[in-house]
Amino acid sequence: MSSHAPAATTERFLDEAQRFSAHNYKPLPVVLERGDGVWVWDVEGRKYLDMLAAYSALNQGHRHPRILEAARAQMERLTLTSRAFHNDRMGAFLRRLCDVTGFEKALPMNTGAEAVETAIKMVRKWGYQVKGVPEGRAEIIVCSNNFHGRTTTIVGFSSEAQYREGFGPFTPGFVEVAYGDAAAFEAALTDHTVGFLVEPIQGEGGVVVPPEGYLGCTREMCRERGVAFMADEIQTGLGRTGRMFCCDWEDVRPDVLIVGKALGGGVYPVSAALADAEFMDVFHPGDHGSTFGGNPLGAAVGHASLDVIVDEGLVERSARLGAWFMDQLRGIDSPHVKEVRGRGLMIGVEIHAASGPARPFCEALQDRGILAKETHHQVIRFAPPLVIEREDLAWALEHVRQVLA
């Protein structure tokens, strides 16, 4: 399987990035300059189908006209106030976000990791002030194979050695259990447990879907023991899995919902932590904040991003097309494929270790005009924008079939 050989113009951009950028990523050797809907073009003029959607940040597709128009209109008026002053866009955005999610209050931030940090601080303080855990003793249960971001606190409770190496000492107060194992979760519960931070599907971990009933079972244990169920739906939320939120598959309402990525519509970073007043009201002026969180430009973009998902039926579209695409992928007769798994348009194709890593398969797809990316070494992730047409998926499927064969 031949890897993609960059052309001359591409080489110049790659050399520039190699020289002036920190080497903290290993992207495919393609340099993109333009995008529209589900399609992107590189600096050589080659056209590709985007099957990654910026890790679910582009659920609405590249440069969605309604989101761009909202951004343009707001940029003509006001872009930033900081939270030292009110602005006329944040309240309406947060009201819309609360309407869509069913929570009483939202705290806006910018990146997903910031929203996770917000949720951690909120639940710890709730644990001390409301649950009555002794100061400094609060514990949050997390899962092995988790990915919640890249801050020092978050990588400290990762089970991935590379994410931790060289970055300690780490924040205490986190207890790791096996993902998908409700008995292990129950055994880890103590009187000091204040929260359970979980991804309804582990995206970076390899599109790992927990056993049926796991979310509902752990949610019920949290309710019984006075523990906050914290759902990280940064990748899985806002229609990606064929429900508005992945927890909806088991009718689970978390205590704390964490959203990001697609909330910014691929235009601007917008994230938020959501909860009812019992949790959110532990924050007082000066406890927590962000200069850019809730800024008018981000609020306008976030509001439009939500409207597009709802108005254009992207949740239902993800469910319908995802079920069809996954069924087709499972029908491919390939000696390389160990398993196809996922929900909606969040799909992982795991490659047998004996066939080597997943990256050469992604490089072969790139040669055929399809951009997908490996995750967790052995998994090809397919997560196109939710605006994709079935005929585009069918076109991709023929190339995927040939590459996997």
Q: Which one of the listed residues 93, 103, 147, 174 is annotated catalytic?
A: 147
Q: How many CA atoms lie within 13 A of 348 on its CB side?
A: 24
Separation CA 40–CA 56 (nearest Å) = 15
Question: Could you give the residue ranges of the DSSP H alpha helices within 135-203?
Answer: 152-156, 161-164, 182-188
Q: Is position 261 annotated as part of the catalytic site?
A: yes
DSSP code of 71? H
Element (H or E) spanning 229, and its range? strand 228-232
Q: Is position 125 annotated as part of the catalytic site?
A: no
Q: Which one of the listed residues 103, 125, 157, 261 is annotated catalytic?
A: 261
What's the longest Cα–Cα distance across the chain? 63
Inter-axis angle of helices 296-311 and 65-75, nearest 10? 160
Q: Is position 232 annotated as part of the catalytic site?
A: yes
Separation CA 195–CA 230 (nearest Å) = 7
β-pair type (174-177, 256-259)? unpaired
Expressed in percent and rounded to 5, the helix, strand and coil fractions of the chain are: 40, 20, 40
Sequential DSSP letters for 118-141 = HHHHHHHHHIIIII-PPTT--EEE
Identify which of 342, 341, 338, 344 has the alpha carbon closest to the alpha carbon of residue 358: 338
Q: Which one of the listed residues 42, 50, 232, 392 is annotated catalytic?
A: 232
Tell me the catalytic residues.
Answer: 147, 232, 261
